[in-house]
Chains A and B, each alone.
Chain A
């Protein structure tokens, strides 16, 4: 259980409805300090609505939302002073240059000697690799350049909480890699709460993941826990020889719940689902070898986030 002081964002039964139709239903979200929190969900799940509620851009219909222990409705300005935010479709003043945009943004957060402000702007431009385009008007920027500027303006105040709504959406693979590296680099000084569709990225950098579907939280857990899953444990075995015999032998084991076979480069890949991991660890390989086949590969199958995401979202969709 995380103590309240260790939480950057905390929501309780947070609900938002439009014209009586709920888009966010009784959300209980806990975002610990210094975590990289992946906020996942299909389109229309309510991710951006949640972010807007945290920022005070919209008001909850019921329930509460707190950031840094302060209610977001009554303390919105104080909270925003400690947040950096990149919108899903960021909009800026097109006539301003990137440097002017950062200068304008910076002045909402801090004051001090001009050269120090300019130095911070320069550092931030370099951090997101748009320092060579800093003095061009934004109206000529590509989608990727806009996204980099978006990250720069969100980070200009070195926020305690960085909220990124689809930060890698308009970026090429190198840009995505840069964003992930940046997130890893700044995690010691900030909490990162970000929504994305790119599950591979989430798996690479996140500590904790929450999955939202149709406005409801369907999962929230550390990523290892989520990947370990609650379903059956599987082993992947690639065999050479009489795979049918091996399969028949394995199926007889009481702790095996299912065996699926598929051809793979002249060999056979078996996916063995088990109900008792201890028994499987002790006896599965031995049982297969006793059938006379040669084992080319053997290992526990790791679930990836996409499997977990699809399972959770599809189960929910089927149930509704």
Chain B
């Protein structure tokens, strides 16, 4: 068949090849196999614990001697816990969701993203792709955008929805939607920081130990560092985990709540910019 109607792609600027690359990168997330795996793995890791806390734990009998000990201690909060009121279950559910999801998303997003650029450089597919009319910016951006959307919609949104549903059912609808969404929003900003960091490191190094280990070390060491240098909470993502939980629980937020959020977004954008800058200069 003569190709009478085929027209050369006209966009040969900095977005050249972006649409096609994005389609390929999105396809890695948006296929039945990947969706099923992501749903099962993340639900088992995050929401099975939430289910245990909000449904199974309140049904478990408390040993009499434990009850006596708590009553004798006079600890009002502990005594309240014995009753598993909806408020107690709400606190338990939110606490376990935001704590477990925070850690799981840190590690999981790094695992998912760390070799996105690195693997293509290592295997030679990056050199193959960039022998076609694709801009290097488009190459990096397609990976950033697809991974951010994938993590956001397939992992965070789905798991947050499941957690919200579970906690709402267990508490009879006590979860405040704005507070919960606010908490999830802060958790998302935090998770994307580590996802982008892991991904962009692949533009700088071919060492998997670095792309995989460094973001996790930054996350874990950072939260310890806060205990010694509290000012870091204003300019790093390290306080966002506890802020997300506090927000979801409807606790009053400090005046400076916006600083770490803005700082983390800026860090994330700076990392993305650095990756583009570096990849433009990388020899393949």
A77-B134, A77-B135, A80-B133 known; A109 and B125 CB under 8 Å? no
Is the beta-carbon distance between A112 and B133 smaller than 8 angstroms? no
- Chain B residues with CB under 8 Å of A81's CB are 8-9, 12, 133
Is the beta-carbon distance between A116 and B284 smaller than 8 angstroms? no
Tell me the A77-109 residues at the B interface (CB within 8 Å).
77-78, 80-81, 83, 85, 87, 89-93, 104-105, 107-109
Binds B, one of A51-59, A195-203, A247-255, A271-279: A51-59
Is the beta-carbon distance between B283 and A104 smaller than 8 angstroms? no
B240 at the interface (CB under 8 A from A): no
B227 at the interface (CB under 8 A from A): no
- Chain B residues with CB under 8 Å of A77's CB are 12-13, 16, 133-135
A57-B283, A80-B133 known; A110 and B128 CB under 8 Å? no
- Chain B residues with CB under 8 Å of A57's CB are 127, 130-131, 283-284
Which range holds the interface residue count of chain B? 20 to 34
- Chain B residues with CB under 8 Å of A85's CB are 131
Q: Would you call the interface of chain B mostly helix, strand, loop, or mixed?
A: loop
- Chain A residues with CB under 8 Å of B284's CB are 52, 57-58
What distance in Å separates the Cβ of A119 from its nearest Cβ neighbour in chain B?
4
Is the beta-carbon distance between B9 and A55 smaller than 8 angstroms? no
Is the beta-carbon distance between B3 and A83 smaller than 8 angstroms? no
- Chain B residues with CB under 8 Å of A120's CB are 3, 6
- Chain B residues with CB under 8 Å of A56's CB are 130
- Chain A residues with CB under 8 Å of B127's CB are 52, 57, 87, 91
Is the beta-carbon distance between B3 and A119 smaller than 8 angstroms? yes
CA distance A81 to B16 in the complex (A): 10
Is the beta-carbon distance between A59 and B128 smaller than 8 angstroms? no
- Chain B residues with CB under 8 Å of A109's CB are 8-9, 132-133
Is the beta-carbon distance between A113 and B5 smaller than 8 angstroms? yes
Most chain A CB inside 10 Å of its own CB: which residue of B9, B123, B125? B9
Per-residue contact bits, chain A 30-72, to B (CB 8 Å; 1 contact, 0 not): 0000000000000000000000100111110000000000000
What distance in Å separates the Cβ of B21 from its nearest Cβ neighbour in chain A?
9
B17 at the interface (CB under 8 A from A): yes
B24 at the interface (CB under 8 A from A): yes
Is the beta-carbon distance between B24 and A104 smaller than 8 angstroms? yes
What distance in Å separates the Cβ of B131 from its nearest Cβ neighbour in chain A?
4
CA distance A78 to B17 in the complex (A): 12
Is the beta-carbon distance between B131 and A91 smaller than 8 angstroms? no
B124 at the interface (CB under 8 A from A): yes
Residue of B nearest to A119 (CB): B1
Is the beta-carbon distance between B12 and A78 smaller than 8 angstroms? yes
- Chain B residues with CB under 8 Å of A113's CB are 5-6
Is the beta-carbon distance between A112 and B3 smaller than 8 angstroms? yes
- Pick from A90, A108, A116: contact of B6, CB under 8 Å: A116
What distance in Å separates the Cβ of B260 from its nearest Cβ neighbour in chain A?
39
CA distance A120 to B134 in the complex (A): 21
- Pick from B1, B6, B13, B132: contact of A105, CB under 8 Å: B132
Is the beta-carbon distance between B124 and A87 smaller than 8 angstroms? yes
Is the beta-carbon distance between A80 and B131 smaller than 8 angstroms? yes
- Chain B residues with CB under 8 Å of A108's CB are 9, 16-17, 20, 132-134
CA distance A112 to B4 in the complex (A): 9
A77-B135, A83-B131 known; A111 and B124 CB under 8 Å? no
- Chain A residues with CB under 8 Å of B17's CB are 108
Residue of B nearest to A106 (CB): B6
What distance in Å separates the Cβ of A229 from its nearest Cβ neighbour in chain B?
36
CA distance A117 to B9 in the complex (A): 13
- Chain A residues with CB under 8 Å of B134's CB are 77, 80, 108
- Chain A residues with CB under 8 Å of B6's CB are 110-113, 116-117, 120
- Chain B residues with CB under 8 Å of A78's CB are 12, 133
Residue of A nearest to B11 (CB): A77
- Chain A residues with CB under 8 Å of B131's CB are 55, 57, 80, 83, 85, 87
- Pick from A55, A83, A87, A115: contact of B1, CB under 8 Å: A115
CA distance A81 to B132 in the complex (A): 7
Per-residue contact bits, chain B 107-144, to A (CB 8 Å; 1 contact, 0 not): 00000000000000001110110111111000000000
Is the beta-carbon distance between A110 and B8 smaller than 8 angstroms? yes
CA distance A108 to B20 in the complex (A): 7
Per-residue contact bits, chain A 177-214, to B (CB 8 Å; 1 contact, 0 not): 00000000000000000000000000000000000000
**A and B contact pairs by CB, cutoff 8 A, 10 listed:** A55-B131, A80-B133, A81-B8, A85-B131, A87-B124, A87-B131, A107-B9, A108-B134, A109-B9, A110-B7
Closest 8 CB pairs of A and B: A91-B124, A119-B1, A112-B6, A81-B133, A85-B131, A58-B283, A108-B132, A107-B20
Give B residues with C-beta under 8 Å from A. 1, 3-9, 12-13, 16-17, 20, 24, 123-125, 127-128, 130-135, 283-284
Beyond contacts A78-B12, A90-B124, A112-B3: 20 other A-B pairs, Cβ-Cβ < 8 A, are: A57-B131, A57-B284, A77-B12, A80-B130, A81-B9, A87-B124, A87-B127, A91-B123, A91-B125, A91-B128, A92-B128, A105-B132, A108-B16, A109-B132, A110-B9, A111-B6, A115-B1, A116-B5, A117-B3, A120-B3
